[in-house]
Amino acid sequence: MEWGSEFVYFSSGEEEEEIVVGNVSSEDEMDHDDEETCLLDILDTAGQEEYSALRDQYTRTGDCFLLIYSVTEKGTFKDVESLYEFLKRVKGEDKIPTVLVGNKIDLDTERQVTTQEGQDLAARLGVAFIETSAKTGQNITSAFETLIRVTPRSGMDYKVVVLGSGGVGKSSITVRYTSNQFVDCYDPTIEDSYRKHVVISGIPDHLKKATKKAAKKAAKKTTSSNKEKNIRRKSSGLFGSIRRALGMKTDGEKPEAQQQASSGCSGDEDGYECHLEKVAERKKVRKADANVLLLKMDILENEPQVVTGDPTYCKSCRAILSSTSTLEKPEGSDQSTWICEFCDNKNDNLDISPEEIPKGDSFDFVLSPARVEVEGGEEGAKGETTPEKKEESKGMVVYCMDISGSMSAVVQLPTLQAEWRNARDRTQHTDNHVSRLKAIQDAVRRQLDRMKIEYPNKKVALVTFGSTVYLWGDCHDNQVKSYSDSRMLEDFDALVAAGREYATSMELSGLENTFGNIDAKIDHLVTEGSTALGPALAISAGIIADIPHSEVVLCTDGEPNVGIGQPSRDGSDFYRRIGEFAKRNNTRLSVLAVEGADTGLRHVQECAIVSGGTVNVLNPLEMMRQLRLIAQNYTIATAVDVVVILHPDLVFDEPGFQQASNRLVKEVGNAAKETDLTFRYKSKDPKKKISKKTIPFQVQISYTLKNGMRCLRVLSKSHQVTQDRKQMEENINVAVVGIAAVQKSAVIASKGDAKKAQEHIRSVQKMITRGASKPTQMEERLAFKTESDLLRQEIRQAVDHDDMESRSDGRTNVFYQNAMYPSNKYRGSSTDQKQKQTKSRRSEDAALVKQYQGYMC
């Protein structure tokens, strides 16, 4: 459990404040700039091997760049010159704030690039030069400080991009600087951003004079060279949002009827060039507070701290006796009394002593034991020697691929990626187009290649669909089962039963044996027919129904128009029903939709939301990366139920929950590694004076692990209380408050109330601005501002117009993504949580690193 502040806040009455609402940015909240304090937003680009929308955006809008090569690899040295030329073309400038960094000088005996060669190249490019060792830490801080000292200052915030070939130590340098630890063998597939608060002296006076206006003008210039190409492209979805964030006009957006007195259209803090007439008003709203509880489901990966016996429940509120409880034992009696700290109920005649109360903030009861594994079974096969890998091989994955006629449509390689290919290969590529099907084929094949190395015993099956649904199994032979009868394709129960029946006769082997066959089958797929998405999804869900911890990954580009699940007829009912079916069977469904083609995502996404899967709308070329992220965000527990119990002076403050209740029950179902739950609460009676110094909280989580063991985890802890707003705000946990605000606002907006969503998130913004002053708070404030940018932008546009029935897939996707956003994206670099996360990303598997870095897009 984490709280939104070090103090639970009991207000002394109803509190209001005035905010700006409408399709304009909130007030410009400028911080005092002492001209030395810096907030660095650092993107570690992992490799240049795959397309990434995040890298695309950061590279275009970055303030400054570290270009890194390894002194032990001549080829990486040659690449940095190409990278700098690439940056000049993308940014449209002849000189870019850059530091050339030669890394790994601790390996001097393996050196292939001399210091003089590095100095000569830096002089030729007109950039600063430094040599470093991420392993020893030598010159790492100097590299970043030198970079800031050559970058025009437009405020405290700097967007820093770390670029270089694979294996040069980009991640190691970034991690060493942000957390002062050396992480060797960092997983090269993880692209991440880090926020760091530092004080850097010696910034030249002429660089301190850059203004926000000049910076925005430069950013606008940066994007102008690409505007003409991009304006012709469909601008719905995530990439449309990014293009708007870069100042690129989009089609289909209507001007407002009213106009703000000041009609100038310039960039603003929410990040996109204004081309709408402004509508704004000041409105009084409830003042935000930090009364938020964050519950991360990844704690269920921790080894259970098992206590013997059965839990002792309060007979009234069902709280469990824990470390926050106090037992009283009447003199001369063998039994104890517990006055429940949550409801004041007197629980008499307890056969327990104070010494037997479970100790600590977290403990588990075993409700049913683990299954007995058969010795010598396939779990112990080649390559899976760790418990984690054995667990991850359980369950299966069904790739359900759309091969309908629209999948033959051609998409253009994103401009940034095309420019990088040209610069890297020192040639002008002409093959900058690829079909949607080809992009998804490559993505699935590459993910299977990775899974074969990491989890060789993982079982994978292939399902494809056009007008007909084809079941290929693991492709070990040419036999295929197909379904095209129109009556059957309309029958939910028949489709699920067909999948279940197929599973009983399906002979699947691990990927180490089946990869070649599946790879060949995917490679030879061709497009045909219409889109029987609903029938294919139902059959796929049936195939995995009796195999817990399994998943269907649906890849599609078009709205369902054959059989069950057609949005125009069935709406969301079918998708909610199939999601419930998957959830009951401890499986999940994930949806990957192609950007620019309307899939009716507002309906289709229900299957993923209900079952605990993921939803994303992507450029086809980003499918590769997203498939890997889905696999990395694996299910850690099933049949998860959460009970949260508050002190009786508090009640929950969440839409849809029972009013004036201090007990909440949430059925989670499948919990993934990045499943984070937030709960808002408030004082039951704002006029009541609180005399207590602390109040208790309790969370009860019932869950089933992959080995079949059913447990009940109890989290109990007391937290400090204050009625002083300033004390609460100054001790705010920005990451917790930020993620809760984003999740709640996204949910409200997704239900059609964009105005209320905007009011909430802007009120929280104002509180964060008032309270955040410590380095960690400032880092997390920057993370909140950056990570919530797309959501705030979509809400602003939705305030003007948002018809739920015609809502674009892009907007639907933004709302969904933020409603499910993980809190680790909001952590500052100096926090324990971020440093723990960084350590967990070591990759000892040299084969995986080689496979990734060997890929050329």
Q: Nearest-CA neighbor of 544 among 574, 575, 514, 506?
A: 506
Contacts of 669 (CB under 8 A, 6+ apart): 583, 586, 610, 611, 612, 638, 639, 640
Q: Is the pLDDT of residue 228 over 90?
A: no
Q: How many residues does the chain have?
A: 857
Full DSSP string of 376-435: TSGGG-TT--SHHHHHHTSSEEEEEEE-SGGGG-EEEPPHHHHHHHHHHHTS-----EEE
pLDDT tens digits, residue range 562-587? Answer: 999 998 887 789 999 999 999 999 99
Element (H, E) at 624: helix 623-632
What average pLDDT does the chain have?
A: 81
Contact 732, 4 (CB under 8 A): yes
Model confidence, pTM: 0.78
Highest average pLDDT, of 258-272, 411-425, 493-507, 609-623, comes from 493-507
Q: Which residues contact 382 (CB under 8 A, 6 or more apart)?
A: 456, 512
Which residue has better confidence, 480 or 45? 480
User: What are the residues facing 555 on neighbouring strands?
Assistant: 401, 592
Confidence of residue 215 (pLDDT cuts 50, 70, 90): very low
Say which amino acid occupies 119: Q
The CA distance from 660 to 375, in Å, is 53
**Helix, strand, coil % in the chain, rounded to nearest 5:** 40, 20, 40
The single-letter DSSP state of residue 572 is: T
692 within 8 A of 721, measured Cβ to Cβ: yes
Q: Among 793, 443, 450, which residue's Cα sits nearest to residue 592?
A: 443
Asked whether 679 and 331 are in contact (CB, 8 A), the reply is no
Label residue 14 by pLDDT band (50, 70, 90).
confident
pLDDT value at 856 more than 80 = no
Instruction: Enumerate residues 6+ apart whose C-beta is below 8 A from 257.
Output: 277
Pick the range with the lowest mean pLDDT from 56-65, 213-222, 514-523, 725-734.
213-222
Confidence of residue 283 (pLDDT cuts 50, 70, 90): confident
Q: Is 144 left (phi over 0), alpha (psi -120 to 50) or beta?
A: alpha
Structure tokens, 475: 């492709």
Is pLDDT larger for residue 810 or for residue 24?
A: 810
Token pair 């192609």 is found at: 594
Alpha helices, H only, 633-691: none
d(C-alpha 329, C-alpha 337), whole Å: 6
The angle at the Cα of 274, spanning 269 to 276, to the nearest 5 degrees, equals 135
From first CA to last CA, the distance across the chain in angstroms is 42
- pLDDT classification of 222: cutoffs 50, 70, 90: very low
Picking from 295, 304, 320, the residue whose alpha carbon sits closest to that of residue 642 is 295
Secondary structure in 3-state letters for 285-339: EECCCCCEEEEEHHHHHCCCCECCCCCCECCCCCCECCCCCCEECCCCCCCEEEE
What is the token pair recorded at 506? Answer: 């399906």
Per DSSP, the residues of 109-130 read GG--S-HHHHHHHHHHHT-EEE
Average pLDDT over residues 521-550: 94
**Of 484, 449, 485, 439, which Cα lies nearest the Cα of 464?**
484
640-684 pLDDT tens trace: 999 999 998 999 987 666 667 888 889 898 898 889 999 999 988
Checking if the pLDDT of 781 tops 70, the result is yes
Give CA–CA dist 164/169, Å, rounded: 9
- Residue pair 388/507 in contact (Cβ under 8 Å)? The answer is no
Which phi-psi region, left, alpha or beta, contains residue 586 (left: φ > 0; alpha: ψ -120 to 50)? left
Cβ proximity of 361 and 349 under 8 Å: no
Beta carbons of 441 and 624 less than 8 angstroms apart: no
pLDDT at 656 (0 to 100): 66
% of residues, the chain, pLDDT over 70: 77
